[in-house]
Copies of this chain bind each other. A is one copy, B any other.
Amino acid sequence: MVGGGPGAFIGAVHHRAATLDGMATLVAGAFSSNAAKSREQGAAYGLAPERSYASFDEMAQREAALPENERIDFVSIVTPNHLHFPVAKAFIERGFHVVCDKPLTTTLEDAEELCRLVKAHDVVFALTHPYTAYPMVRQARAQVQDGALGTVRKVIVEYSQGWLSTPLEQTGNKQADWRTDPARAGAGAIGDIGTHAEHLARFITGLEMEQLLADVRSFVPGRRIDDDANMLVRYKGGAKGVLFCSQISVGEENRLAIRVYGTTASLEWHQEDPNFLTVRHPDGPTETWKPGHAFLSAAAQRGTRLPAGHPEGLHEAFANIYSNAMRVMHARQAGETPDPLDLDFPTVRDGAAGVHFIQAALRSGREGDWVDASYVAPGA
C-alpha cells in the first residue's frame, strides 16, 4: 500500500476490502512521506519494519529487488490524487499490478500515459470506483444489456454531499484540506465525486457522452476549488442526461443516485440504500430487486456473500473490485484465461475517461457553453 498513513480513512477501507475474502495480506507499505509515520502505520498493520518504506520510490525499488516469491503481488495506491500518477508509474514500470483510487490522475496527459504503460507492461490495473461493484448496480447493468428497458432515452445521475457546506478546510480537517487544494486534488466536487457519477452512468447504460454543459461554482467563501456543479449531457445516439454533484448540499451524506429511462421501462438506484433496485414499468407494478437470489444476473450473484435479507455494504462492494482483480492476477500468473466475470472492474482506461470528463466539465464551466465530451482512451 502506498498512502493510507495515520488519519487517512480510505487506507483502512482499502485494507479491509483487500482482505475481506481472505485472498490477500498486507506485507509492505509506504504509508506516509514522513518515515516515522510510515513505520508507525506499518507497525499498526503488523508489518515487518523493513517493509515500511519512507517513500514510494524506495518501496518500488526494494520490492522489485526481492525474490519473486517474497515481493508484493500488487500495490494499492491510496494517496491524494496528484500522487496517483508517479506512484502508479513507478510500480507499473517494474511490472507490478496496481489497484488505484480514483480519480486516476490530475491531468489527461498523465492518465493517457498510464494507459500506455499498463498496455506496454501488461499489468492488471483496477481503479476503485466501488459503487459500480454493488450487486444491484451490476444487476441494473444486466437489465439494460438484456434490453429490459428498451433503448435508453434519459439518464439522471447525481452525487450530493453536504460535508463541505462550510469552510471545513480552514479548520485543520485533513480530508477537507487536500480535497479542496487544487494542487493536490486537481478538481473539487467534480473530481472527487462527479467522476463517480459519470462512471456509474456509463457503467449501467454503456452510453458515451457526446457533449456536456456544466454550471460550476464554489459556494463557500474562500474555497479555491469547485464545490458544486450542474450539468446537461447529450449522449451519442440521442439520449439526454442530467448530472449534478455537490459538496454543499447540506444534510446529504453520500447521495449517489441514478435513474435510467428507456423506451419500455426505467430503473432507479440509491447508494445509501444499496440493496434495493427499483424497476418501473408502464403497464405493471413497480419492482424492487434485492441481492441474494438465484434469479439475478451472474455478476450480481458473484458480488454477494450473504443470503437474501442480510445487508452488505460498501466494504463488500469495494472488496468485489479487489477480489475480481486478484483473481485476474492469479489467472495471469497461472497462464490461464481469466473468467469473464472476474474482468468486471474499472480499468485504467475508465480512469482516463473519468479524467477527460472532469476536464471537459471544468472547461465548460469556465466557458459557459457546450463542450465536446466524446473520448476514446488509448491502450485498447
Binding site for B on A (CB under 8 A): 9, 12-13, 15-16, 19-22, 45-46, 150, 153-154, 156, 158, 161-163, 165, 213, 215, 217, 219, 228, 230-232, 234, 240-242, 244, 246, 248-255, 259, 261-266, 271-275, 279-290, 292-295, 305-316, 368-370
Q: Can you sample 18 A-B contacts with CB below 8 Å?
A: A16-B20, A16-B305, A162-B266, A165-B282, A213-B232, A230-B241, A249-B259, A250-B261, A250-B262, A250-B264, A250-B281, A251-B279, A253-B290, A254-B308, A271-B311, A279-B285, A285-B289, A288-B288
- Measured in the bound complex, the distance between the Cα atoms of B11 and A305 in whole Å is 12
Q: How far is the CB of A188 from chain B (nearest CB, A)?
A: 15
Q: Are B316 and A281 in contact, with the CB atoms below 8 A?
A: no
> Who on chain B is nearest to A45 by CB?
B22
Q: How far is the CB of A239 from chain B (nearest CB, A)?
A: 9
Known: A250-B262, A309-B255, A313-B311. A228 touches B15 (CB 8 A): no
Known: A16-B305, A272-B309, A309-B272. A242 touches B266 (CB 8 A): no
Quick one: which of B156, B283, B295, B312 contacts A313, CB cutoff 8 A? B312
Known: A16-B20, A162-B266, A368-B370. A240 touches B230 (CB 8 A): yes
15 new A-B pairs (CB below 8 Å) besides A20-B20, A153-B250? A15-B22, A16-B21, A154-B248, A162-B266, A165-B282, A230-B232, A249-B259, A249-B266, A253-B309, A279-B285, A285-B287, A287-B288, A311-B311, A313-B315, A313-B316
Residues of B within 8 A of A156 (CB): 158, 244
Q: How far is the CB of A61 from chain B (nearest CB, A)?
A: 27
- Measured in the bound complex, the distance between the Cα atoms of B19 and A153 in whole Å is 42
Q: How far is the CB of A5 from chain B (nearest CB, A)?
A: 16
Q: How far is the CB of A207 from chain B (nearest CB, A)?
A: 15
- Measured in the bound complex, the distance between the Cα atoms of B189 and A157 in whole Å is 21
Residues of B within 8 A of A309 (CB): 161, 252-255, 271-272
Q: How far is the CB of A97 from chain B (nearest CB, A)?
A: 20
Known: A22-B15, A215-B234, A234-B215. A310 touches B308 (CB 8 A): no
> Who on chain B is nearest to A249 by CB?
B261
- Measured in the bound complex, the distance between the Cα atoms of B219 and A13 in whole Å is 43
Q: How far is the CB of A130 from chain B (nearest CB, A)?
A: 9
Q: Are A314 and B306 in contact, with the CB atoms below 8 A?
A: yes
Q: How far is the CB of A271 from chain B (nearest CB, A)?
A: 8
- Measured in the bound complex, the distance between the Cα atoms of B273 and A294 in whole Å is 21
Q: Are A266 and B248 in contact, with the CB atoms below 8 A?
A: no
Q: Are A251 and B261 in contact, with the CB atoms below 8 A?
A: yes
Known: A280-B252, A282-B250, A290-B253. A242 touches B261 (CB 8 A): no
Quick one: which of B153, B234, B290 contacts A219, CB cutoff 8 A? B153
Q: How far is the CB of A314 from chain B (nearest CB, A)?
A: 5
Residues of B within 8 A of A295 (CB): 283-284
Q: Are A311 and B274 in contact, with the CB atoms below 8 A?
A: yes
Residues of B within 8 A of A288 (CB): 285-288
Q: How far is the CB of A321 from chain B (nearest CB, A)?
A: 15
